[in-house]
Structures are given as C-alpha cells and as structure tokens.
Amino acid sequence: MAGNGRKVLLSGMQPTGMLHLGNYEGALKNWVRLQNSGQYEIYYCIVDWHALTTAYEDPSELEERIYQIAADYIAAGLDPEKVTLFVQSDVKQHAELHLLLSMIVPIPWLERVPSYKEKVETLGLDSYGFLGYPLLQTADIIIYRADAVPVGKDQLPHLELAREIVRRFNYFYGDVFPEPDALLSEAPFIPGTDNRKMSKSYDNHICMGDPPDRIQKRVMSYYTDETKIYRGDAGHPDTCPVFALLKIYAPEETEKIKSECESGSRNWGCVKCKKLLAEMLVEKFASFRKKREELLADREQLRRILRDGAEKARARAEETMKIVRRAMKMWNAG
C-alpha cells in the first residue's frame, strides 16, 4: 500500500499512435472509473520501451506517438491531478529491476507465455527484448509495489507470470513485493472492420480521435452478416459486428434494429445500420476530439504533465529499488 493507506494500482499502454475503440472500451474507460473511485493511488504509464519490441527498426515516430497517447489519456478523462501519468523510459529504475529479475527467472517461464508463441509464429519476432517483454512488464508493475492491475481476461497469463516471479523473488530475498491482483474489467468484445478483435496490427480499427469523414469511411467498410445479401433477406444481428457496436453506442435503438433485421424488413438494411453507427460515433467522441486537439496544440503542456508524473513515479520507484538492493545485498546498497 501507499503511505496514504490506499492500495496502489498500475497499468499502461504502448505508444502506437491514436487509441482506438478497443483501447477505450477495453481499458481506458475503466481507468477513468477507477481514478474517480478514489480508492487507489494510481500510476498510468506510456510504455515506450515495450514499443521497441516491434518498432526497433524505425523508432523515429515514437516521440510523436507518445504525445498522441498522452493526449488521448487526458481527453478521455484521466486527470493528472488525480493520477500519475508518465513515460516508462523517464523512470530508469524500471530497467534496473528488469535486469535484476532477468537473473532469477528461467527462460522456459518466458517461452510459455501464449502471446509470445503466437507472435513468434505470426510476426516472426525472435529478439531477446520480445522474449523478455513479460519480464519488463513485471518490473513495470512491481517497481511501484502495485497491489492491483486492471486487465482483461486475455492478459491474465501475463499477470499470473508476474505473480510467479514475485513469489520466486520473495523466496530468495524475503518479502519485498506484494503479489499483484487482477482487477478484471467486464469489457465487451470490440470487433474491427473484418470482425476480428479490433487491433492496429490488423488495420481494422477506428480511433476516437479520427475526423468524422474517416470514422464514416471506416464504418462503411465493415463486414456485416454475410448471409444477408439483399435488403429483404432475414439477418442474424447477433453475429454482426456493426450490431455489436450499436449495442454499445446506440443501445436504445437495438431492440428495434434487431426486430427489423431478423424479419427481413425492407425498411432497414445494413447500410442504414452503418450510417447510424457512424453518426453515433461521431457524436459520442466530438468533445473528446476537441479536447485532444487542444492538448496537441500545446506540446509543452503535455511534456510538463509527463515530466511531473515521471518525477513522482521515480520517487516511488527509487524507494522500491533501495529495498531491493538491500534485500539482494548489492554493492553500496546501504
């Protein structure tokens, strides 16, 4: 726990540019809710070192992407007065703890992580940095002695590995770290334009900060019910990605849409659904777009927020590292 008696919470995202609907519904909206609950001392990070596991050949856009994600964080409702916002590489203690953890963690523990196996096969990634990604992720969490991490179900294997690493460290060196618990969010599945999970890797995403014309273009490109070829054909809305999004962004309309679609009514078709969804998304994120544009127009303000956040994060992280160095009986540990 923090000195104020509140539990400590940490989470972060890679700076891959503007955040999309999947990021928002899957994490960011929950982050804002947790912030406003007042129950936690919260650290939200932009994990730029993690981004280098895939963007190492050309990191020239990394700085701009950090600004973009910082603007998204704040425009979505994160308040730098309530939470600590910072960039991972501004807190070098993350790297020191990662190095020390790498000395005690068996390689097979890292190789069995599901996302490692999947991306080695699909993306051909095979660097040490990619193999050690979950270890650096563990360092990110425990450097703040976090009690909890908000995650989706697909991230549970990473958190369980972090808990296992904590147990191993504590076995060797004493009770230094708490085992972080999962704060599971009941996030809906956000389908991309191809009905796979929304992801920039698949280029099937819609960003909250996209201009209205791009949102409309992306929505109109969605695959819908492949069995509904003509307007008069009966549809199957429960398998349609556009209907899945309408349930989130136009819930008051979905009962009527479902009835019209399933009956094969000629008064309602897929194009009409798409137009409604585009309209709802443009309206829903209008204030978000305005706020992020204002933030990006003042880069020095964003830099100051991240710099102040890093200073607070470093203080907590260095406090942890002093405990770690003493526990491991490192040179000049004090």
Task: For 293-318, give the secondary structure using H, E and C.
Answer: HHHHCCHHHHHHHHHHHHHHHHHHHH
Whether residue 197 lies in the annotated active site: yes
Burial class of 72 by CB neighbour count within 10 A (0 to 12, 13 to 18, 19+): buried
Residue found by looking up tokens 């085992």 in the block? 179
Per the annotation, the verdict on 82 as an active-site residue is no
Q: At 285, list the tokens.
A: 């994120």
CA proximity to 266, closest of 222, 234, 239, 224: 234
Q: Which of 7, 82, 197, 312 is catalytic?
A: 197
How far apart CA 1 and CA 35 sit, in angstroms, is 16
- Cα separations in angstroms, 255 against 147, 238, 246, 262: 41, 12, 10, 11
Per annotation, catalytic residue among 200, 247, 258, 272: 200
Q: Which of 157, 151, 147 is nearest to 113 (CA)?
A: 157
Q: Are 25 and 244 in contact (CB under 8 A)?
A: no
Active site residue 119: yes
Catalytic residues: 119, 197, 200
